[in-house]
Amino acid sequence: MPTILHRLSKWASENPRDIAQTYKSSGSWVGITTCEFMNRVFHLALYFEANGFHSQSIACIYATNSPEWVHCDLAAQLLGGQSAGIYPNSTPRDIHYVVAHTEASILIVQNKEFFDKIIAGGELPASIRKIIVIDGDISLSPLAVSYEETVSEGAKLAKKSRKKVESYLKAIDPQAPAFLVYTSGTTGNPKGAILSHDNLIFTADVISQSWDLPYENGSLFSFLPLCHIAERLQNVGVGISQRYTVNFATKFENLTSELVEIQPTLLLSVPRLWEKMMEGVLNRVKNSPMPRRRLIQWALDVGTRVAESKYNGKFPSLFDLAQRKVADRLVLSKIRHAMGLGNAEKIASGAAALPAHVSRWFRSIGLEILECFGQTESTGVICLTEPGLDCAGTVGKPIAGIEFKIAEDGEVLCQGRNVFKGYFKDPTATAQTLPPSQGGWLYTGDLAEFTSQGLVKVRGRKKEILKTSGGKMIAPLPIEETLKTSEIISQVCIVGDGRNYLSALITLSEDMLKELKERPGVLDELVIRDPEINKKVRAKVDEVNRVLASYEKIKNFAILSREFSIADGEMTPTLKMKRNVIENRFGSIIDRMYNQPSRESIQ
């Protein structure tokens, strides 16, 4: 089928009673059938059309993940137009920029609170004709109408006009733009990447085939922002193509409890959250009574031995296999269920490279995290890891159906059906990423290399490479990930561009920060000076330094009393560090690290 909308229509026609989406209301999960899903999309489209929306129009969606988000998204596409999602935690300035830049004619907002953030960034653009409010007060603007009323009015239009969804489906050009994804960039204004219907279909099918995803009878859990390509690919692309039920989290804060309720068969997350899940289990183990702690550690050790044998191409000993069955029954299955992964057939990580130690730990409890490497401009996919193959620390191999190469300077280049159409109203940026003289090759800005096994290992972003005053070029990511293998270290931001050596800003794990709150005065300042904590961190820094080249060694470090956060603008919505923001915010601390004698560690 040429587009996601065609696939949804066929699903609704063949299995109208299948539950396509669920959401939580008054403590219970409520289902939406495929028939109702398709009807809502069609009725919304008719309402949009009656209010002047056409093939050149754009609808902006500023709301949290919900079935309504997807319905409005697909309604715009059904008319040949486009949608553009906005991150819920964006700044008023960025929110207003996207709405104005797209010249959107229809604006979909969660509620009055969301609308107020838009106008806090400036006056409502004159292009807006209607504001659809998903929940709450519609008195926020004379242009406002409730989502329910929009669907109701669309249903009346369908009955009155006798229009059929098939005529709209026939008019869709698979190569035409379908939606915009505004990058959560670390500098300047967000850029709107234009992605086509075919981009989404191609990448969804590549993932499903490469990972051998079962067709039908699957379930997903939607909590990553839908305005990000990773969640759009999972929720809309794979969800509809594979006919899975998509369960929507009520809010990010309820992720842990609702994941346990849903127990999805497929879960996509980002590296930082996989790390958090692992750390949560390890911290609970550490705080358990000694007999229980020994039992859990025994089970994890057995799981590790069996997994290592499997991924090294060896057959585990019969004794270990027998122990593994007992360990799974007594411990490992309970850990998986407590994490919300009791029914997981496939789990995946995207948006950034997954640290190898996290991948290996999940193997020990019987779960393999598959990795998806790509970016918005490649519709989220360039490389995938292969089930059953030891890809820890790599992003696997280039996907089938595209061309892939690594340039002389290490930059990843690709071309194929996954490559975007360009940046909306930004020909200069488009030419930099898709140079006209290079025949359609996408210049990703990611640095990588092939391992001896032919797997792709990401070294970081080209723009993140640090150049010391001595002229040495250093990729900070591999060093940061090695430091993070310490159970007390949460985040690491290495600095040193233009300096004569490297230093690091280090944050502590949530569990360690909670422990330090019990000690009066330790967290009162931005930098932790507790001798015991400094000693533990220094030991890890010294350990890592021993295997680094002299110019890569971390000479000084500072331990911060809080983690980097989205709320403070230091992390993107997919939990990647905004290095320039961090370096500016903690500039005085960084300067102090360079205004004192260089040494292996500081207090």
Q: How confident is the model at residue 233 (pLDDT cuts 50, 70, 90)?
A: very high
- Cα within 13 Å of Cα(202), Cβ side: 22
Question: Going by CATH, does the domain composed of 4-172+211-269 fall within 3.40.50.12780?
Answer: yes
CA distances in angstroms from 437 to 178, 377, 432, listed in the order given: 26, 18, 11
pLDDT at 257: 94
pLDDT digits (tens, 9 = 90+) for 579-596: 888 999 999 999 999 886
Q: Is 269 helix (H, G, I), strand (E, B) or coil?
A: strand
Q: What are the residue ranges spanned by the domains of the chain?
A: 4-172+211-269, 465-594
Q: Is the Cα torsion angle 544, 545, 547, 553 positive or negative in sign?
A: positive
Task: Tell me the DSSP string of 152-187.
Answer: HHHHHHHHHH---HHHHHHT--TTSEEEEEE---SS
Q: Which of 84, 60, 68 is nearest to 23 (CA)?
A: 68
pLDDT digits (tens, 9 = 90+) for 327-386: 999 999 999 999 999 999 999 998 777 888 899 999 999 999 999 999 999 999 999 999
Q: How confident is the model at residue 446 (pLDDT cuts 50, 70, 90)?
A: very high
* 39-53, 342-356, 396-410, range with the lowest pLDDT: 342-356
Dig out the tokens for 65 from the structure: 């993940």
Q: Which residue has tokens 């907002």?
A: 109
Q: What is the mean pLDDT of residues 81-105?
A: 93
Which residues face 413 on adjacent strands? 405, 443
- Whether 405 shows a pLDDT value over 90: the answer reads yes
Q: How far apart are CA 68 and CA 75, in angstroms?
A: 10
pLDDT at 600: 42
Q: 558: Cβ–Cβ under 8 A, 6 or more apart, which residues?
A: 503, 504, 505, 506, 527, 586, 589, 590, 592, 593, 602
* 164-178, 204-218, 468-482, range with the lowest pLDDT: 468-482
pLDDT at 467: 83
Dig out the tokens for 40 from the structure: 């809502």
- Whether 265 shows a pLDDT value over 80: the answer reads yes
Q: How far apart are CA 35 and CA 63, in angstroms?
A: 24
One-letter amino acid at 182 equals Y
Q: How confident is the model at residue 521 (pLDDT cuts 50, 70, 90)?
A: confident
Question: For the chain, how are helix, strand and coil distributed in percent, rounded to 5?
Answer: 40, 20, 35
Q: Which of 404, 412, 425, 564 is nearest to 484 (CA)?
A: 564
Q: How confident is the model at residue 602 (pLDDT cuts 50, 70, 90)?
A: very low
pLDDT digits (tens, 9 = 90+) for 138-153: 999 999 999 999 999 9
Residues 422, 408 contacting (CB under 8 angstroms): no
Q: How confident is the model at residue 187 (pLDDT cuts 50, 70, 90)?
A: low
Taking the alpha carbons at both ends of the chain, their separation in whole angstroms is 62
Dig out the tokens for 582 from the structure: 């961090």
How many other C-beta atoms lie within 10 A of the C-beta of residue 212?
Answer: 9
One-letter amino acid at 448 equals A
Q: What is the mean pLDDT of residues 34-48?
A: 98
Which residues face 403 on adjacent strands? 415
Give the CATH fold of the 465-594 domain.
GMP Synthetase; Chain A, domain 3 (3.30.300)
Residues 370, 349 contacting (CB under 8 angstroms): yes
Q: How far apart are CA 43 and CA 154, in angstroms?
A: 4
**DSSP classification of residue 340:** T
Residue-wise burial string across 93-120, b where 16 or more C-beta atoms lie within 10 A, e elsewhere: ebbbbbbbbbebbbbbbbbbebbebbee
Q: How far apart are CA 132 and CA 77, in angstroms?
A: 17
Dig out the tokens for 281 from the structure: 């289990």
pLDDT at 292: 92
Per DSSP (E only), the strands in 278-388 are 346-349, 369-373, 383-384
- Whether 599 shows a pLDDT value over 60: the answer reads no
**DSSP classification of residue 591:** H
Q: Which of 448, 430, 426 is nearest to 440 (CA)?
A: 430
Q: What percent of the chain has pLDDT over 70?
A: 98
Per DSSP (E only), the strands in 147-302 are 177-182, 192-196, 219-222, 245-248, 266-269
Q: Is the Cα torsion angle 384, 386, 392, 396 positive or negative in sign?
A: negative
- Whether 184 shows a pLDDT value over 70: the answer reads no
Sheet holding 489-495, edge to edge: 489-495, 502-508, 554-560
pLDDT digits (tens, 9 = 90+) for 408-445: 999 999 999 999 999 999 999 999 999 998 888 999 99
* 231-240, 289-298, 505-514, 569-578, range with the lowest pLDDT: 569-578
pLDDT at 601: 43
Average pLDDT, the chain: 92
Q: What is the mean pLDDT of residues 276-304?
A: 92
Q: How far apart are CA 352 and CA 355, in angstroms?
A: 9
pLDDT digits (tens, 9 = 90+) for 314-337: 888 999 999 999 999 999 999 999
